[in-house]
Amino acid sequence: MPGVGSGRCKLLLSAAAGLLFLAGCGPKSGIFDGGALSAAKRVAVMPAAGAPGADGVDAGRMEAGLLLTSLANLNRFQVEGPGRLRKAATSQPGQKLPWSAALQADLARELGIDLLVVAEVTDYRFTKEWKSASWYFGSSTWTETTYWVALNVRFVKPDDGKLVYCGSGAGSSKEGYGPATAVATEAAMEELREFLARQKR
């Protein structure tokens, strides 16, 4: 039923937007609660917020997928996508529950989720540059396109929305938005990877 799935998706998107507002990030990034990060075993990736503009409409969906992969590659957390949260957010098919901090905490406890992960794509655009070359027998001109992406990744506590980790990353590629987003995601996760590596020593 398209209406039911759409409603559940909107519910989770609203929750993700609320988490972004509560957690904040600003210009600072880094580890804000190392204890909570070290203790976490299961994390859930929320729908990511897309970027402004026509090109950025689907940027959040791409980023959420890349974030799931990046987290899985850490071999540190059990990683959940938004599917189980979406299902648990409705008591019966077609019945929507109003999202609240209490519901968020209840769902996290029910599913054994220690931290919620939410991303926000802040820049998503391309630029074109004219190139030219001359030879003895003639010349040619062409355009070269560069794709630019910037984003923030936040880990927050599900019970109170407090910020545990915030990483910012930017990337560019001449091959498209996908590679640029992948570079930005890995950059946003860099400090987290370094932190987890130190925990193993």
> How high is the pLDDT of residue 130?
78
Mean pLDDT of 3-15: 48
What domain range is 163 assigned to?
2-200
pLDDT at 190 over 50: yes
Domain of 170: which CATH number?
3.40.50
- Per DSSP bridges, beta strands 30-31 and 42-45 are unpaired
For residue 70, pLDDT beyond 60: yes
User: What DSSP letter does each residue of 136-174 carry, written as one string?
Assistant: TTEEEEEEEEEEEEEEEEEEE-TTT--EEEEEEEEEEES
178 falls in which pLDDT band (50, 70, 90)?
very high
pLDDT at 28 over 70: no
If one counts the domains in the chain, the total is 1
Q: What is the pLDDT of residues 86-140, one digit of tens each?
A: 777 765 455 455 666 777 788 888 889 999 999 999 999 999 987 666 666 666 7
pLDDT of the residue at 140: 72
